[in-house]
Amino acid sequence: MTNTDESAGPISKMTMIEAIRSAHHVMMERDASVVAFGEDAGAFGGVFRCTEGLQERFGEARCFDTPISELGIVGTAIGMALNGMRPVAEIQFADYMYPGYDQIVSEAARMRFRSAGDFTSPIVVRMPVGGGIYGGNTHSQSPEALFTHVAGLVTMIPSNPYDAKGMLISAIEANDPVIFLEPKRVYNGPFDGDHDKPLVPWSKDPRGEVPEGYYKVPIGKAAIARRGDEVTVLTYGTMVHVAMNAAEITGVDAEIIDLRTLLPLDLEAITTSVRRTGRCVIVHEATRTSGFGAELSAQVQEECFYSLEAPIVRVAGWDTPYPYSQEWEYFPGPQRVADGMLQALKG
């Protein structure tokens, strides 16, 4: 919340969806080269409504529906960027980004490098990630590690409306390709992992207070979601809220770091905390093996080896596809995160 300044305009209550919509709106207003598109992103406003109203306001040329081709979406976005536009492309679910992965990895990420700066590809590719909506193995994935392994990409993931808007504005203004992951389970409220409880809406949460105007949350800067002394929890997206819940139910005085940008990583925020607490838990929804948690673990032990009092603990999705019926047994909920914290404390 620290980045708000006067010029960002009056504060409104927004869900994360509204905040994302607002970021589009602000940027399309400021910069005629910003365009938004994707499957059902035009008149319909996207299956999650993140682009609702944009076509009406900015016309069909600047917000439009695409054929169902993620390759085409990313590929034409790159082409538009090469021609001076700032495309913001929506992939309907991250699970469907694979047909566009080649254009992301082989083209967008390497355009600057391979042309020695002669061409660049400042695109934003937005996609909802994560489980918790009974989406089974094709509407629940968290593929962030498939992006963080790719040199040339920026990978971001907000956990609340305020950040979502400020981060998306930073992404749109960035001159590098940005993968913008949206944890769909917290689109409407800060889901803390207890799926039986009624959802708290963002309107009841201070992070749902979002300036209506232009402001940025910087790329590459983590946030401290909770200050604490006993253990450092590194997490992002939906799991920030689950970790808060775990701290509550265990009473552990955890320092919970919301990474926000995964690449480039805010290593300093991480090491400062871990050196102080001496303990570290990494939490994400993605499958464990070769998940982004592995990289976090590797860096923490490289940087903080002599401060660590116990093994770094990873709490992550099991190494299986995301099941449907077993969703809540599978989801790394507050109890599993709590167990991870306690394990790190024992060590």
Partner 1 sequence: MTVADLQSAGEARRPAIDVLAPEIMDMAFGLIRVLDDEGNPHGPWIGDLGVDELVEILTTMFTTRAFDARMMKAQRQGKTSFSMGSRGEEAIGAVTATVMGAHDMCFPTYRQASYLLGRGRDPLAMMNQVYGNAADENLGTQISGLYTSSEFGFLSISGNLATQMPQAVGWAMAAKIKGDPTVALAFVGDGSTAESDMHAALTFASTYTPPVIVAIVNNQYAISTDEEVARGSAQTFAQRGIGYGLPSLRVDGNDVLAVHGATSWARDRALAGHGPTVIEFVTYRGSAHSSSDDPTRYRPEDEFDEFPLGDPIKRLRLYLQNRGFSNDQANALDEQIRNMIEAKNEEAEAIGTINTGERPSLRHTFELVYETMPPHLIRQRQEAGI
Q: In this chain, which of 28, 34, 36, 78 binds partner 1, going by CB under 8 A?
A: 78
- Partner from ligand TPP, partner 1, a second copy, none contacting 118, C-beta within 5 to 8 A by type: partner 1
Which residue is listed with tokens 């069909």? 60
Cβ proximity to partner 1, 127 vs 154, nearer residue: 154
Min dist CB 134 to a second copy, Å, is 15
With contacts defined by CB under 8 A, how many residues of the chain interact with a second copy?
44
What would the x/- binding string for ligand TPP be over residues 64 to 83, using CB under 6 A?
Answer: ----x---------------
Nearest CA among 219, 287, 290, 281 for reference residue 256? 281
Under the criterion CB under 8 A, does residue 302 sit at the interface with partner 1?
no
CB atoms within 10 A of CB 115: 11
Candidates 16-24, 72-80, 108-116, 240-248; binding stretch for a second copy (CB under 8 A): 108-116
- 96 binds ligand TPP per the rule CB under 6 A: yes
Question: Which residue, 79 or 136, has its beta carbon nearer to ligand TPP?
Answer: 136
Using the Cα atoms of residue 131, residue 133, residue 135 and residue 139 in order, give the sign of their dihedral: negative
Region of 21 on the Ramachandran plot (φ > 0 left; ψ -120 to 50 alpha; else beta): alpha
CB nearer partner 1, residue 89 or residue 247 = 89
Residue 327 touching a second copy (CB under 8 A): no
C-alpha distance from residue 81 to each of 20, 40, 50, 96, 119 (Å): 21, 21, 21, 22, 9
Positive/negative CA dihedral, 319, 320, 321, 324:
negative
Cα end-to-end distance, the chain, whole Å? 35
> What six digits make up the tokens of 37?
């598109």
Residue from 138, 197, 218, 227 in contact with a second copy (CB under 8 A): 138
- Specify the stretch interacting with partner 1 by CB under 8 A; choose among 12-20, 106-114, 230-238, 249-257: 106-114
- Extract long-range pairs of 194-201: CB within 8 Å, 24+ residues apart: 194/245, 194/333, 194/334, 195/132, 195/328, 195/331, 195/333, 201/15
Q: Which residues are designated catalytic?
A: 139
Count CB-CB contacts under 10 A for residue 313: 24
CA–CA separation, 280 and 69 (whole Å): 41
DSSP result, 101-133: HHIIIIIITTHHHHTTTSS----EEEEEE---S
With CB under 6 A as the contact rule, the residue among 51, 66, 92, 250 that binds ligand TPP is 92
Contacts for 152 with CB less than 8 Å, ≥ 6 apart: 108, 109, 110, 111, 112, 113, 176, 177
Instruction: Give which of ligand TPP, a second copy, partner 1, none residue 145 binds (C-beta under 5 to 8 Å, depending on kind).
Output: a second copy
Interface segment toward partner 1; rule CB under 8 A; list 4-12, 96-104, 163-171, 304-312: 96-104
Residue 40's nearest CA partner among 31, 32, 50, 30 is 50
Selected from 230, 310, 339, 342, the binder of a second copy by CB under 8 A is 310
Q: Minimum Å distance from CB 212 to a second copy? A: 37
Report d(CA 147, CA 149) in Å as an integer.
Answer: 5
Residue among 5, 31, 57, 113 that touches partner 1 (CB under 8 A):
113
Stretch that binds a second copy, among 79-87, 145-153, 181-189, 209-217 (CB under 8 A): 145-153
Positions that interact with a second copy (CB under 8 A): 95, 98-99, 101-102, 105-106, 109-110, 113-114, 137-138, 145-146, 148-149, 151-152, 263, 286-287, 289-295, 297-298, 301-302, 305, 308, 310-314, 319-321, 347
Positions that interact with ligand TPP (CB under 6 A): 39, 68, 92, 96
